[in-house]
Amino acid sequence: MKVVRLLAACAVLGLGSSAYASGSGAHWSYEGSAGPDKWASLGYPHCKGSNQSPIDIKHASMTEMDDISFSYKSTSLNAVNNGHTVQFNYDSGSTITVAGKSYSLLQFHFHSLSEHTVGGLHSSMEMHLVHKASDGTLGVVGVFLQPKTDAGHGNGHGSDSDPWETVFGALPGASGLKLSGSQSFNANDLLPHTRSYYHYSGSLTTPPCSEGVNWFVLQEPVRIDAKKLARFQSIFDSNYRPVQPLNSRHLYEKDSNGTQAGNSGGHH
């Protein structure tokens, strides 16, 4: 059996479905006097820790690691603009399992530009799928989003109906606004075909910047219609934290022969 080198979480994080929204405490933002370089002094001391996220992905160690087993069910549409991103709260019952540990999917949300970079380069956007294990440990799957270069269907693991149209079709445009609907979709259809990934131990990328988060950043980006990306970017066009030092942490790369879902789809 393959063994994934998961670094032990250094804190049990009692965070609910709003894991990436501080919910209380001092106002923070992505620019100006409340921007990322001021978060620690605003009352979020973890933000100056030594195991922070995001990071620049480079010089990863090729390592034999377990595949991520995705077991996602469909969810109803339940989106909220929390003032920092648009967050899609997910119905209960969906999980990922890595190295025998199961994490329940709580929510997913987006950043523009991407928060993680690869060799110093940003993607257009990044989706974070936030999961929580029974012991409180968080596991976050990061997915890079890039615009399609042609009129094809891109490389999402989708069906005849476009799940991205459901997600980006109507977004709550002002802070505090919520959007719910009868349409359903499955987050599995938002993922790339190839599930090879980078792994490291990091933190929340927003205050309170709590550490002990297991990060799984998928290597293959998803290509979607640029107009759909633009819908989100018209609301949040710069809601990303700059990359943080890797320091003494290890960055691992799952070999490229990782699990594929559905038909094989490479980079376009």
pTM reported for the whole predicted model: 0.87
CATH 3.90.1150.10 for the 45-254 domain, yes or no: no
- Tell me which residue of 139, 137, 85, 91 sits closest to 115, measured CA to CA: 85
Does residue 184 contact residue 235 with C-beta atoms inside 8 Å?
no
pLDDT in tens, 76-126: 999 999 999 999 999 999 999 999 999 999 999 999 999 999 999 999 999
**Which residues make Cβ contacts (< 8 Å) with residue 227, sequence separation at least 6?**
none
Does residue 28 contact residue 44 with C-beta atoms inside 8 Å?
yes
pLDDT in tens, 196-243: 999 999 999 999 999 999 999 999 999 999 999 999 999 999 999 999
Residue spans of the domains in the chain: they are 45-254
